[in-house]
Structure 1
Amino acid sequence: MTATLDFDATSRTMGGEYELHYHEAGSGPVLLMLHGSGPGVSGWSNFAGNFPVFAEHFRTIVLDMPGFGRSPAREWNDVYPRVAADAIRYFLDELGIDSVDIVGNSMGGNVGTEFALAHPERVRRMVLMGPGGLAVNSFAPPVSEGSRRLFEFLANPTREGMVAWVDTMVGNPAVVTDELIDQRLANALAPGAIANTFKIFQTFSDPRFADRPQLWARAAQVQQETLLVWGRDDRMLPYEGSLFPFRQMPNAELHVFSRCGHWAQIERKADFERLTVEFLNR
Structure 2
Amino acid sequence: MTIDYTYENTRKTVEIGGVTLSWHEAGEGEPLILLHGSGPGVSAWSNFRHNLPVFARRFRTIMPDMPGFGASGLPELDDYYATLAARWIALLMDHLEIGSALFTGNSMGGAVVAELAVLHPERVRRMALIGSGGLSVGIFGTDPSEGFLRLFEFLDDPTRDRMIGWVKTMVYDHRLITDALIDERMKNALAEGVIPRMKAIFGAMFNPALRRGVAPLWTRSGTIKTPTLLLWGRDDRMLPYDHAHLANRLLPQVELHSFSRCGHWVQIERKSDFERVSAEFHTR
What's the TM-score, normalizing by structure 2?
0.97
Per-residue deviation at 1:42? 0.1
Aligned equivalents of 2:208, 2:100: Cα separation in 1: 33
Q: Secondary structure of the residue that 2:169 maps to in structure 1? A: helix
Corresponding residue for residue 248 of structure 2: 246
Per-residue deviation at 1:172? 0.7
Aligned equivalents of 1:108, 1:270: Cα separation in 2: 20
Q: Is the 8 A contact 1:66 1:74 kept in 2?
A: yes
Per-residue deviation at 1:16? 2.0
Per-residue deviation at 1:2? 5.5
Q: Map of 1:125-164 to 2, 5 A cutoff?
A: 125-164=126-165
Corresponding residue for residue 114 of structure 1: 115
Q: Which range moved further: 65-74 or 265-274?
A: 65-74
Does residue 212 in structure 1 map to residue 222 in structure 2? no
> In the TM superposition, what whole-angstrom CA distance separates every residue of 1:114-170 from its partner, at most 9, and x where no partner exists?
011101011100000011111221111111110000000001100111000000000
Kindly tell me: are residues 22 and 67 of structure 1, through their superposed partners in 2, closer, same or farther at Cα, counting changes over 3 Å? same
Aligned equivalents of 2:109, 2:103: Cα separation in 1: 9
Aligned equivalents of 2:4, 2:36: Cα separation in 1: 19
Per-residue deviation at 1:222? 1.0
Aligned equivalents of 1:216, 1:163: Cα separation in 2: 31
Does residue 10 in structure 1 map to residue 10 in structure 2? yes
> In the TM superposition, what whole-angstrom CA distance separates every residue of 1:197-219 from its partner, at most 9, and x where no partner exists?
11101112223212210111111
Q: Is the 8 A contact 1:13 1:22 kept in 2?
A: yes
How many pairs does the alignment contain?
A: 282
Unaligned runs of 5+ in 1: none
Q: Is the 8 A contact 1:2 1:53 kept in 2?
A: no
Per-residue deviation at 1:74? 2.5
Partner AA of 1:12 in structure 2:
K
Aligned equivalents of 1:105, 1:55: Cα separation in 2: 18
Q: Is the 8 A contact 1:230 1:264 kept in 2?
A: yes
Corresponding residue for residue 178 of structure 1: 179
Aligned equivalents of 1:19, 1:42: Cα separation in 2: 14
Q: Is the 8 A contact 1:19 1:72 kept in 2?
A: yes
> In the TM superposition, what whole-angstrom CA distance separates every residue of 1:87-119 from its partner, at most 9, and x where no partner exists?
011101111111000000000001011011101
Per-residue deviation at 1:79? 0.9
Unaligned runs of 5+ in 2: none
Identity over the aligned pairs, expressed in percent?
A: 52
> In the TM superposition, what whole-angstrom CA distance separates every residue of 1:174-211 from its partner, at most 9, and x where no partner exists?
12221111111111111121111111011122232122
Aligned equivalents of 1:180, 1:93: Cα separation in 2: 35
Partner AA of 2:57 in structure 1:
E
Corresponding residue for residue 275 of structure 1: 277
Does residue 91 in structure 1 map to residue 92 in structure 2? yes
Corresponding residue for residue 224 of structure 1: 226
Q: Secondary structure of the residue that 1:262 maps to in structure 2? A: coil
Per-residue deviation at 1:3? 4.1
Q: Which range moved further: 179-188 or 201-210?
A: 201-210
Partner AA of 2:63 in structure 1:
V
Per-residue deviation at 1:65? 0.3
Let me know the Cα RMSD of the aligned residues: 1.1
Aligned equivalents of 2:26, 2:70: Cα separation in 1: 18
Q: Which range moved further: 16-25 or 53-62?
A: 16-25
Aligned equivalents of 2:60, 2:94: Cα separation in 1: 16
Aligned equivalents of 1:227, 1:3: Cα separation in 2: 29
Kindly tell me: are residues 2 and 245 of structure 1, through their superposed partners in 2, closer, same or farther at Cα, counting changes over 3 Å? farther
Q: Which range moved further: 40-49 or 201-210?
A: 201-210
Q: Secondary structure of the residue that 2:221 maps to in structure 1? A: helix
Partner AA of 2:5 in structure 1:
L
Partner AA of 1:9 in structure 2:
N
Corresponding residue for residue 125 of structure 2: 124
Aligned equivalents of 1:4, 1:147: Cα separation in 2: 35
